[in-house]
Amino acid sequence: MLGMLFNEKECKELDYVLRKELDEMLLDLSDQRLDANIRHAIASRYKTVFRMYARFAPQKELSKYARNGKFPQIKH
């Protein structure tokens, strides 16, 4: 496990970057034109980024990015 210290400005920037990345991945996952293997890879990456975001996001913000049954879930 790694630890990192961020100042307030850096925390806000990380929050912004993770939210934008989650938004982009949700958009990609909703694109039916993408191959199933690509969608699977995106879903796996989404899970990782979501967990990173969940470490410091407020519950209200986190619920906006929680995936539902609309997209195939990854089982590990």
| Cα–Cα distance measured from residue 55 to residue 52, given in angstroms and rounded to the nearest whole number | 6
Q: Which domain holds residue 44?
A: 8-63
Number of folded domains that form the chain: 1
Concatenate the DSSP letters of all residues of 32-72 into one string: TTS-HHHHHHHHHHHHHHHHHHHTTS-HHHHHHH---TTSP
Asked if residue 69 is part of any domain, the answer here is no
Threshold 0.85, pTM exceeds:
no
Asked if residue 68 is part of any domain, the answer here is no
Confidence of residue 76 (pLDDT cuts 50, 70, 90): very low
Asked if residue 47 is part of any domain, the answer here is yes
The burial class, CB within 10 Å (0-12 / 13-18 / 19+), for 41 is middle
Identify the residue with better confidence: 69 or 39: 39
Confidence (pLDDT) at 70: 53
- Confidence check: pLDDT of 72 > 70: no
Asked if residue 76 is part of any domain, the answer here is no
pLDDT for 8-57, tens place per residue? 999 999 999 999 999 999 999 999 999 999 999 999 999 999 999 999 88
